Amino acid sequence: MSTGTNEKNGMREGREDLKCPECGSKEILRDPVRGELICSNCGLVITDHLVDMGPEWRAFTHEELEKRARVGAPSSFRFADKGLSTTISWSDRDAHGRKLSPSKRAQIYRLRRWNVRTMVKRSLTDGLIELNRIASQLSVSNELRETAALIYRKAVEKRLTRGYPVSAMAAAAIYLASRLHRIPRPLDEIVEHAKASRKDVSKCVRVLIRKLQQDFPRPTAKHFVPRFAAELNLSPYIQRLAIEILDRAEKAGITAGKDPSGLAAAALYVAGILGGERRTQRQIAEVAHVTEVTVRNRYKELTKKLNLKDIRNLLSSK
DNA sequence: CTTTAGACGAAGTATTA
DNA sequence: TAATAATTCGTCTAAAG
């Protein structure tokens, strides 16, 4: 596919000099009317996103299907549905049921293709706008946004977004991107900011995983530790302690089938107590998006099956 | 009054036949 | 596809601090 140049981890590190994300050209023109940036080389339209005002302008491609548009108003998404957003049926007959002449057929065919393309464009831009809205509220990094956008674009190209709420698909893309970056977030945390039900979002996640044929590493408890710890203002020492606990839990074989974020929560809870930076179960449960009950159960298991007395020594000896 | 602990059925998930 | 097992959730009760 034509997106082949930028693979799974987004396109590049967040950089502020202007460069086309698609072809790398530095010749970026500014459309004074719309405020859009256009790559003069490949015609890519780069919009700053409309909803938030973070310092980053970020880059999403609405074009890569047709590689022209070097002059005049770039064929932006706005231009796409001018007056012709009707659907065109796929039958070979006209309104009276008569068969169409070959030349007519060819003409209609071209119309249909054009029509489909504009629809693709529309769902793309809608989705990317929504994606950016959610990402802003979650304050995720730009790299992650781009990865999410890439996932979303692939989904649209493969027609996977049909039948699902735009917001659900966008949320799912962010969720999966965060997994790719090994900075997973609990699904519920993302759902909170999406205009869709948890059910729909997880449905979209499944669809994407299945149809996109891409490896989305499963979150492990350890991946959650830094984020949770930061939100709880726990020191790096406590983090190391928690990770050590998780290592042992894994060796003890009590992690299988358990919710990773619940596990991370409990480990931090124990580590906090051991290290003298205690947080309540309530606090921890909140940032981990699990219930206190879950924190308790995991915590009980950890203290029961693990010998935790020597952990401090073990850690300081490292 | 807050935190912790435990019990119960409901609900969503993963595994197996 | 349907049944089964394991897990988490929500809510309630109660003890401890």
Could you tell me the two tokens for A291? 């219930």
Q: Name the strands in the sheet holding A28-31, side by side, starting at the edge strand that comes first in the sequence.
A: A28-31, A36-39, A45-46
d(CA A47, CA A89): 33
pLDDT of residue A7: 36
Which of A259, A263, A251, A264 is CA-nearest to residue A306?
A251
Q: Taking the domains of chain A in order of start, what are their residue ranges?
A: 221-316
- Dihedral sign from CA coordinates of A99, A105, A111, A112: positive
* Residue A206 approaches strand B within 7 Å at CB: no
d(CA A231, CA A204): 28
pLDDT band at A162 (very low <50, low <70, confident <90, very high): confident
* Residue A290 approaches strand C within 7 Å at CB: yes
Q: pLDDT (tens digit, 9 = 90+) per residue, A171-216?
A: 999 999 999 999 999 999 999 999 999 999 999 999 999 898 888 9
Burial class (CB in 10 A: 0-12, 13-18, 19+), A55: exposed
d(CA A278, CA A270): 8
Q: Are A274 and A308 in contact (CB under 8 A)?
A: yes
* Residue A188 approaches strand B within 7 Å at CB: no
d(CA A171, CA A312): 40
- In angstroms, the CA of A79 and the C1' of B7 are apart by 62
* Residue A68 approaches strand B within 7 Å at CB: no
Could you say which nucleotides of strand C lie within 7 A of any protein CB atom?
6-11
The set of residues, in sequence order, having a beta carbon less than 8 Å from that of A53 and lying 6+ positions away, is none
Give percent of chain A above pLDDT 90. Answer: 49
Length of chain A, please? Answer: 318
Average pLDDT, rounded, for chain A: 74
Q: Which stretches within A81-165 are classed as H helix?
A: 102-138, 142-157
pTM metric for this prediction? 0.68
Which of A118, A73, A67, A111 is CA-nearest to residue A89?
A111
- In angstroms, the CA of A37 and the C1' of C3 are apart by 57
pLDDT of residue A257: 87
pLDDT of residue A32: 41
* Residue A280 approaches strand B within 7 Å at CB: yes
- In angstroms, the CA of A213 and the C1' of C1 are apart by 24
The structural architecture, per CATH, of the domain A221-316 is Orthogonal Bundle (1.10)
pLDDT at A4 over 60: no
pLDDT of residue A62: 39
Q: pLDDT (tens digit, 9 = 90+) per residue, A70-95?
A: 333 333 333 333 333 444 555 555 56
More confident residue, A62 or A104: A104
Instruction: Give the CA radius of gyration of chain A.
Output: 25
* Residue A281 approaches strand C within 7 Å at CB: no
d(CA A60, CA A48): 9
pLDDT of residue A149: 94
pLDDT, mean of residues A134-141: 93
Could you tell me the two tokens for A268? 């931090």
d(CA A245, CA A275): 12
